[in-house]
Amino acid sequence: MAIDPIQVLQAAQRPPVRVPAQAGRPETTLLIAGATGALGNELLRRLAGSHRYAQARVLAREPMQDGLRGVQSVLMPPDDADPRSWPRVQADAALVSFDPPRLYHDRERALWAPTPEQLPQIAAWLHDCGVRTLAVVQPHAQGRLPEALKRGLASMDEQAVAALGFERLILVRSAQKPAQGVRGSLPQRVAEWMLSIARFMVPASEQPVRAAVVAQFVDAALRLAPPGTHVAAPELVWRAAQGNAEAAEATVRQWLQGLP
């Protein structure tokens, strides 16, 4: 049977059907700061497309046309504005990612990308907005943290965020790829080549994993995490990436239950 193009256009313009919230699972609003880079884009795609949130709001630095159903952009003040003057945006859950924008993506240039140094200010603003659950994907440089700090609060900034009183705070330490060095003189290039052997000394459990795997891990943690502060070490994220989706969720469950 042929499909009438007029009917297709009319169906596309109809508002989406709102499914009533189930008991014990109220509709929530998700606010995303840093939906840029490969990781931020994957987090937005997975969480906004999960239909677990009534609406997903993305912080932007420039006006932009909202093209995804259920996703709304929120224009932020200039970067030099006082965080105390930022407009309040109602949200129940928030996600902060620090993946820098890819300059060859026009959409990402219009999005607001935070820096790790802004974490305490962003968290305080989100808490004032009514956010109860905060997930932060922290970039982790291999060999920079002692073993004990990988599984706990590693800085004064993270301690300040934990002291704000979120119902659920999830810190995911995702191993990042080493930055590419600037090509300099011949002696500098030779020195960089000799020092590059250190990259092969990083344990496999601290190697970066695909952005889709990190997004899958964060999605499961947001669904399953009980109240409290939860810190995922890079080894845990790597271990969750070694199997299929069911195995990854089982790893997240074991981690949240305190099981080895």
CB 86 within 8 A of CB 258: no
Is 201 part of a structural domain of the chain? yes
pLDDT truncated to tens, each residue of the chain (260 aa)?
454 444 434 444 444 434 343 444 455 899 999 988 889 989 998 998 877 888 899 998 888 776 667 788 888 888 777 777 888 899 999 999 988 888 777 778 888 888 888 899 999 999 999 999 999 998 765 555 555 455 556 678 889 999 999 999 999 988 655 455 455 677 776 666 665 555 545 555 555 678 888 999 999 999 999 999 999 988 888 888 888 888 888 999 999 988 66
Is 237 part of a structural domain of the chain? yes
Q: Collapse the DSSP code of 60 into the 3-class scheme (helix H, G, I; strand E, B; otherwise coil) and give the result.
A: strand
What does pTM read for this prediction? 0.74
Total domains in the chain come to 1
Residue 248: which CATH number?
A: 3.40.50.720
Alpha-carbon span 102 to 258, nearest angstrom: 37
Comparing C-alpha atoms, which of 173, 105, 99 is closest to residue 140? Answer: 173
Q: What is the pLDDT of residues 168-214, one digit of tens each?
A: 999 998 865 545 545 567 777 666 666 555 554 555 555 567 888 89
Domain range for 41 is: 26-256
Is 14 part of a structural domain of the chain? no
Is 17 part of a structural domain of the chain? no
